[in-house]
Amino acid sequence: NREFREQQELLAISTRDALALSDQRYRGGAASYLEVLDSNTRTFAAELGLAQAQLNELLSLVQLYNALGGGWRAAETMGS
């Protein structure tokens, strides 16, 4: 899970860089706004993938913790 999250982080960074480049190209007249929108869509998808990978990594840690006998216990009632 950690390796997958790291790959998703790299993908998110790459798509952010591509978005910035597309925006610069658009502002310089070398690209259409459609290219910027496409880069924006890819960046959003990569960010969602990264968030999902982070969630899965944390859920795996919780499952491991529980499998090893850890967990949360309800507070004991007062007066016991």
Instruction: Give pLDDT tens digits for 7-41.
Output: 999 999 999 999 999 999 999 999 999 999 999 99
Across 63-75, average pLDDT: 80
Q: Can you give the pLDDT at residue 52? A: 98
CA distance 39 to 14: 10
Q: Would you place residue 1 in the very low, low, confident or very high pLDDT band (cuts 50, 70, 90)? A: confident
Of residues 23 and 74, more confidently modeled: 23
> Is the pLDDT assigned to residue 80 strictly greater than 70?
no
- The token duo for 48 is 């969602």
CA distance 21 to 27: 10
Q: Please give the helix or strand (H or E) that residue 24 lies within, else none.
A: helix 2-27
